[in-house]
Amino acid sequence: MFKNILLTYDGSEHARKAAALAGELARQNPGCTLWVVTVVDPVPTELQEPYLSQLIAERSVAGQKRIDEALELVGQVPQANRELLFGSPAESIVSVAETRGCDLIVMGTRGLGPWRGLLLGSQTQKVISMAPCPVLAVK
């Protein structure tokens, strides 16, 4: 049923549950490709070297660690790809979903942002409103 599933992962408890569910869905759909996406804050353009390179490296390492954690939670799946992006989370997620032809986005209902107490996270709301495919929001 699903050929391309996009999992967004930010390390939050809801994202951890979403990762486990995305892994189950990918295993239930033979030939399915799972795209694990982590979005990190963009690097301020005002920074100069060596601070620019240092901040890019730090954020890249942190993002890769998040992806590694997500893949551990996902478990063994037929095919998993990694996407580390710098920018606005919702716009980046929707862009990957469009580019990769995803037919499902799996994400936590609340992330690590400053408004985590809200009923539905702001990035989740944005993705749901802009997504080219169904969004499974996991609590």
* pLDDT of 84 above 80: yes
Domains, the chain, with CATH or none? 4-138 (3.40.50.620)
* pLDDT of 81 above 70: yes
* Res. 122 pLDDT band, cuts 50 70 90: confident
pLDDT of residue 119: 47
pLDDT in tens, 102-114: 999 999 987 655 5
Residue-wise burial string across 87-126, b where 16 or more C-beta atoms lie within 10 A, e elsewhere:
eebbebbbbbbeebebbbbbbbbbbeeeeeeeeebbbbbb
pLDDT in tens, 57-74: 999 999 999 999 999 999
